Amino acid sequence: MSRVSITEVMRESGLSRATVDRVLNKRGGVHRRTQDLVERTLVRLSTPPLGAAHTHGGRCDILVRLGRGMTAQLQSALGTAGQPGCVFHDLYQADDASMLQAVTAQCEDVTRPLVLTAKLSERLVAQLVEARQRGKIIITLISDLPLEARDVFVGIDNRAAGQTAAYLIGRALGDRSTTVGVVLGDHAYRCHEDREIGFRTALRTHFPKVVLAGEALGADSPSTTRDAVRRLLRDNPAIAAVYNVGGGNAGLVDAIRDMHREREILIVGHETNHITVPFLRDGLMDYLIAQDPSTLLNEALRQATRSRDSREKAHAHIDFGVFTRFNVPSFGRDIG
């Protein structure tokens, strides 16, 4: 039986953390029916579907092309997940050719599931489609790819995340005419595209006086983001808030500091990690939209062990939260 977290039992059973904790630690005060529900859920989550364990024996490859902060968190989560057969491949800032080469190599062995975060490209999708036809299980993590290229997407609802950012900014700025900016990572990442779409749509619908004045293409690179945000602020000096859909937050903060506007511009970003949490605590970023990296990884690994016939849906959305300097989540407290 595999290790199961309290969060997984909560999600599957619909019970609170306190109730699950009382049952698992035999503290009493819980109705017998509730105990039975927790125990059944635990058994179900701990037991791979019939045939799954014999397919790859818990072995899989995790290949990600992400920013430094999230990459470090996923690596740490894997270290505590008790999955010695899983191999982590870090392709930070790899070019498209290197990424395709790495994916092609991982697709040679169809018995090992692949957990993947990658940009969308026709050649990569074609490679994944062909591998799936040969029986390989593909799980997309954080950023999605077309349905035919993967079995399950594991991540947050990125359109809802963009809408949330718009709501935070719109409510903070009030019912007045003002301008905001958005920092884009790369539209080849589906998650970045969906967050931007959600952001734009929510601004138009709920805050028509808040106008999106310009974009800065940061490509998840601190240096590229810094230069792009400097240009954005020089061209649009009245900007009152910035939403960063991706990485490169160190460059974003540097640019705003360089313009001496660190106490004037509201900043909303993503992820609570060793890069963003210090900015949050120092008041240099105002809101972070984030999810527990361990929950992300554990769900991806769980999906990787399931047979295709046992799946009921093509996506597994993970809950996300909004965090400030006053409520840094537990998965972010030991960093920064």
Encode pLDDT of 243-265 as tens digits.
999 999 999 999 999 999 999 99
Instruction: Please check whether residues 215 and 137 belong to one and the same domain.
Output: no
Rounded Cα–Cα distance for residues 286 and 193 (Å): 22
Rounded Cα–Cα distance for residues 176 and 41 (Å): 50
Contacts 24+ apart (CB under 8 A), 27-32: none
Cβ-based neighbour number of residue 334 at 10 Å: 10
Q: Which of 13-27, 50-64, 266-280 has the highest mean pLDDT?
A: 266-280
User: CA dist 217 to 104, 134, 143, 231, Å?
Assistant: 29, 38, 18, 10
List, for residues 134-144, the tens digit of each pLDDT value. 999 999 999 99
Instruction: Please check whether residues 200 and 125 belong to one and the same domain.
Output: no
Instruction: Please check whether residues 77 and 110 belong to one and the same domain.
Output: yes
Domain residue limits at 80? 55-155+293-318
List, for residues 66-115, the tens digit of each pLDDT value. 988 899 999 999 988 777 789 999 998 888 999 999 999 999 999 999 99
Instruction: Please check whether residues 112 and 17 belong to one and the same domain.
Output: no
CATH of the domain at 180: 3.40.50.2300
- Do the domain assignments include residue 328? no
Count of structural domains within the chain: 3
- Of 1-5, 23-27, 303-307, where does mean pLDDT reach its minimum? 1-5
Instruction: Please check whether residues 217 and 308 belong to one and the same domain.
Output: no
**Is residue 332 predicted with pLDDT exceeding 80?**
yes
Alpha helices per DSSP H over 80-189: 96-106, 122-133, 158-173
According to the model, what pLDDT value does residue 7 have?
77
Dihedral (Cα; 323, 331, 160, 214), 10-degree rounding:
60
Cβ-based neighbour number of residue 154 at 10 Å: 26
In this structure, what token pair is assigned to residue 49?
């579907």
Q: Pick from 25, 68, 40: which is nearest to 335 by CA? A: 68
- The predicted model gives 269-273 an average pLDDT of 96
**Is residue 26 predicted with pLDDT exceeding 60?**
yes
- Do the domain assignments include residue 243? yes
Phi, psi of 296, rounded to the nearest 5 degrees: -55, -55
Single-letter code of the amino acid located at 180: V
